[in-house]
Chains A and B, each alone.
Chain A
């Protein structure tokens, strides 16, 4: 019998450390990376012909980024690395992948999914206007391509990334017009206890805010977004209600928005891993034990793709998932290796939960979205349509609502709108969001080229 390989999906911090640990044990994993270069999002690499030093790109995390990148380069001869390759489905024979327009089936013995996360989005009227991007996008433009999304951007949402990106823009010579945060100073104080487990990270965040204030950038807390205004087809202003309820307005030419992150869980769903509702993060995620084992014996998860704890935790979780694979397939792994990793993750858990408390997902905004607000970007489905599904069409959960009025039916399969659409549906039915469930995943999870050829 031919031994099928262990597959690692994703080559960010979790995927890299997982692959490294498997190689240490003498295995030759297949590493499937959707990006053209290893690094993931936080440690995303610029194209080879760019020259900015790591300190410019990764700031305080430059040493970690450099270590992760160079460790991966050393792994290259020992792994089957497949960059630019997307896993889009699952069959009896293995994972279905596509690279350029070539489709392949990759058999596996075990899979570690380290697919990361995307920005968590709460729609706002006008958010489909060109010039409006996710916070992650604003950061990628700068980090990977040395571009700003505009000359006078507003950053709106909540969470640490809001201040980090605003600060990075400031450093790049693009002063934000404002930073608008839905979290209040009171919620941030409540989260501080959990966040205190990583004082250095908190200190960095405070420094970003202080630098922004010193540069004259206005930081507003406890805001309620009203809309992104446009003229001549582009962004011209953002309107919001301040903490006192006063309607305010700031001119700008771009918006970066995001409300924390959402785990990219579609592959775990296709592989039929069981999901649970996480009340802290207010989202569904695959059920895992503390080593990353799912409810399926051959599938493991690591990194932000299962629990939102950031890049440092992802490195530990990747190594742990690899150790779990090794133990479960008969390799010896010393308990002395596992214990400190569990310890690291316990700290990261406290911190992650503190963050979620400090910068809570503003679920309440969904109820107030005007009916004509687009929620699903792909299919142009409005909040009003979802409310029609909730009421007149009596859809009790997301998949029914999707079948009746199409939110989440488009090319992104609800990656951008799914969580917000669930909030709109739940609010319209006056039930807790967990009761409306989550969108089921269907293959292909990303569009396939029309002219695919099958690899023989």
Chain B
């Protein structure tokens, strides 16, 4: 899949690794989850009603279009969550809390 975002500066930051839908990806320290994902791929999730792909819209926590989930079922707004090493993210909502 092509990436939506491209980095234009601050490219020499330390690499971190996280997992998206089970696959390990490399991101940079200080990336938001949205940036960590969209510099690798072209969508964050699918709309609940027609399954169309979505990739966020406002980037300031207002539109609620950029939700991703942790494997534990926690909802995260990708635009305002900083990527942490070892995070395990899914781009589809898990139907129940897997850790409980």
Q: A interface vs B, CB < 8 Å? A: 34-36, 41, 46-52, 56, 86, 101, 118-119, 128, 130-134, 136-137, 140-142, 144-151, 172-174, 232-234, 254, 264, 377-380, 410-412, 415-416, 446-447, 449-451
Contact = CB atoms under 8 A, between A and B. Distances in A.
Contacts of B55: 130-131
Contacts of B31: 145
Contacts of A412: 62-65
A249 to B, nearest CB: 21
Contacts of A148: 5-6, 8
Nearest to A151: B6
B60 A136 contact: yes
A448 B53 CA distance: 23
Nearest to B6: A148
Interface string B58-77: 11111111000000011100
Interface string B72-97: 01110001101000000000000001
Given A137-B59, A379-B49, 9 more contacts: A131-B55, A133-B56, A134-B59, A146-B10, A146-B11, A147-B38, A233-B43, A234-B42, A412-B63
Closest 8 CB pairs of A and B: A130-B55, A47-B30, A137-B59, A411-B64, A146-B10, A380-B49, A146-B9, A140-B59
A147 B5 contact: yes
Contacts of B54: 128, 130
Contact of B35 (A51, A147, A415, A416): A147
Contacts of B9: 52, 56, 146, 172
Interface residues of B, number: 45
B56 to A, nearest CB: 7
Contacts of A130: 4, 42-44, 53-55
A142 B49 contact: no
Given A147-B8, A412-B62, A449-B75, A233 B53 contact: yes
A410 B38 CA distance: 24
B22 interface: no
B7 interface: yes
A216 to B, nearest CB: 19
A128 B63 CA distance: 12
A1 B11 CA distance: 55
Contacts of B39: 147
Contacts of A35: 61, 80
Nearest to B73: A450
A405 B47 CA distance: 18
A142 B64 contact: no
B75 A234 contact: no
B57 A447 contact: no
A51 B12 CA distance: 10
B64 A132 contact: no
B69 to A, nearest CB: 11
Contacts of A144: 32
Contacts of B42: 130-131, 233-234
Given A149-B5, A451-B74, A119 B30 contact: no
Contacts of A174: 6, 8
B74 A449 contact: yes
Interface string B1-44: 01011111111011000000000000001111001001100111
Contacts of A254: 4
Given A50-B30, A148-B8, A377 B49 contact: no
B10 A141 contact: no
Nearest to A264: B62
A119 B97 CA distance: 35
A299 B56 CA distance: 33
A253 to B, nearest CB: 8
B58 A142 contact: no
Contact of A150 (B4, B13, B59): B4
Given A49-B29, A145-B31, A146-B8, A34 B59 contact: no
B60 A140 contact: yes
B58 A173 contact: no
Contact of B58 (A56, A128, A134, A451): A134
B58 A50 contact: no
Contacts of B14: 49
Given A147-B35, A148-B8, A151-B6, A49 B56 contact: no
Contact of B65 (A232, A378, A446): A378
30 contacts: A34-B61, A35-B61, A35-B80, A47-B30, A48-B30, A51-B10, A56-B9, A128-B54, A131-B42, A134-B58, A137-B57, A137-B79, A146-B7, A147-B5, A147-B8, A148-B8, A150-B6, A172-B9, A233-B43, A233-B53, A234-B42, A254-B4, A378-B65, A379-B49, A410-B64, A412-B63, A412-B64, A446-B64, A449-B75, A450-B97
